[in-house]
Amino acid sequence: MLRKLLIGTMLAGGLVAGYSATTYAAGGSVEVLHWWTSGGEAAALDVLKKKLESQGVTWKDMPVAGGGGEQAMTALRARVTAGDPPTAVQALGFDITDWAKQGVVGDLGEVADKEGWDKVIPTALQNFAKYDGKWIAAPVNVHSTNWVWINKKALDAAGSKEPANWDEFVAMLDKMKANGITPLAHGGQAWQDATLFDAVVLSFGTDFYKSAFIDLDPATLGGDKMVEAFDRMKKLRSYVDDDFSGRDWNLASAMVIQGKAGAQMMGDWAKGEFLKAGQKPGTDFVCIRFPGTQGAVTFNSDMFMMFKVGDDKKAAQLQMASDIESPDFQSSFNVVKGSVPARTDVPDTAFDDCGKKGIKDLAEANASGKLFGSMAHGYAVPAAIKNAIYDVVTRHFNGDIDSKEAAKELVDAVAAAKG
């Protein structure tokens, strides 16, 4: 056991085959715009901050609170418009491509070539971290959105059975309700509603998810199955408490942590909150794939998109990119964040059971063609279409329109956003 652990630590500590660290900066500073302000997120960010500080690089923090990053993107627009972009910005998928099209992003080719990023970062991530063949962003992690986080005591009180399909999920939630707790912890914010919708749509099959959110097929978006998916959303709404409106995602996680609620459907950043609260997977909480989505993964990857900076700031920027892709950082950061490494050669030794499952699920889904970008988190469609979908999903979730109307409006909203 000890030997296994030592090997794992050594591997993650920089002995990954073919990897050699680079030193670019002795000093300098990076200004970093991000939305990692919850307890778990801040703890993870601190791993990066400390690594850079240990190399003499000063960290100028620009946090913009708001899960999912919408507010951060608004703040970024103001900075770029003023001609004063930060050094590095946390960003997702199509947003990165949109910024690259504006011609304002930097070039990480020097460090990416030297360190062989092409060989170890999955293509699904390269598609967004590169633009026009050039590396413009450093992927930090891979999150996935089709998880459920369940309070272990609440699960035991509800009969201990981990739900494997929709009917079992509903049965579990009903028992939790009967046991006097809020079955489903949720925050009424458009991106959180959309996170639920990601998983619900995926639970109707990977072909359905792909047809709806990747191909944007009108017949799928407006069809009977989509009406059924909206009906499931309505059912889920019935398990949420009355105070959900506007609640931040981490406060919903806290309800599960404290046993006030039974479960939360959320990406694996939620695990960061459980860990920060001292809880352990298997003992205090349980992680399962959203029932009906086993074997498939909807992913998002946080990337630090690098902006064009003056020569005085370039070395520190490259240092930050190099640090992010180092195997030891990929391990230590993602263990805290709840996500899995953005490179394929990082050992899973340091990860807990949920992390190990996340790494395995990702590799298997990738190999079997069941890995898809998350609609809710910017990896399926550009922001304009994503926001159009958000709007319909949230109005339906809040009871403003019924399921049939929602499916119909989805078709129109997507068509209008596509332009």
- Residue 245 bridge partners (DSSP): 188
Residues 150-179 that bind ligand GAL (CB under 6 A): none
Residues 364-383 that bind ligand GAL (CB under 6 A): 377
In contact, 172 and 163? CB cutoff 8 Å: yes
CB of 400 to ligand GAL, least distance (A): 25
105 secondary structure, DSSP code: B
Q: Residue 245, SS3?
A: strand
Treating both helix axes as pointing N-terminal to C-terminal, what angle do 93-101 and 383-397 enclose, rounded to 10 degrees?
Answer: 140
Nearer to ligand GAL, 189 or 211 (CB): 189
Q: What angle do CA 365, 334, 269 make, to 5 degrees?
A: 75
* 86 belongs to the binding site for ligand GAL (CB under 6 A): no
* 193 belongs to the binding site for ligand GAL (CB under 6 A): no
* 358 belongs to the binding site for ligand GAL (CB under 6 A): no
Count of CB atoms within 10 A of residue 81's CB?
A: 9
92 secondary structure, DSSP code: -
CB of 252 to ligand GAL, least distance (A): 11
The CA distance from 354 to 282, in Å, is 9
Binder among 151, 192, 206, 300 for ligand GAL (CB under 6 A): 300
Residues 249-268 that bind ligand GAL (CB under 6 A): 249
CB of 347 to ligand GAL, least distance (A): 22
Nearer to ligand GAL, 115 or 273 (CB): 273
CB of 190 to ligand GAL, least distance (A): 13
* 209 belongs to the binding site for ligand GAL (CB under 6 A): no
Binder among 51, 130, 143, 313 for ligand GAL (CB under 6 A): 143
Nearer to ligand GAL, 377 or 386 (CB): 377
The CA distance from 120 to 93, in Å, is 19
CB of 35 to ligand GAL, least distance (A): 6
Count of CB atoms within 10 A of residue 178's CB?
A: 11
- What is the torsion angle, in degrees rounded to the nearest 10, for the CA atoms of residue 367, residue 339, residue 149 and residue 362? 0
Count of CB atoms within 10 A of residue 167's CB?
A: 11
- Residue 105 bridge partners (DSSP): 307
Nearer to ligand GAL, 67 or 139 (CB): 67
* 67 belongs to the binding site for ligand GAL (CB under 6 A): yes
- 409 CA to centre of own chain: 27
* 269 belongs to the binding site for ligand GAL (CB under 6 A): yes
Nearer to ligand GAL, 68 or 85 (CB): 68
Using left for φ > 0, alpha for ψ between -120 and 50, and beta otherwise, residue 25 falls in beta
* 69 belongs to the binding site for ligand GAL (CB under 6 A): yes
Binder among 24, 35, 209, 397 for ligand GAL (CB under 6 A): 35
**Closest residue by beta carbon to ligand GAL:** 67
- List the 147-151 sheet strands across, edge first: 182-184, 261-265, 147-151, 285-289
Q: Residue 346, SS3?
A: coil
Span interacting with ligand GAL, options 13-21, 65-73, 81-89, 107-115, rule CB under 6 A: 65-73
- Residue 188 bridge partners (DSSP): 245
Give the interface with ligand GAL as residue ranges (CB under 6 A). 35-36, 41, 67-69, 92, 143, 249, 269, 300, 302, 377
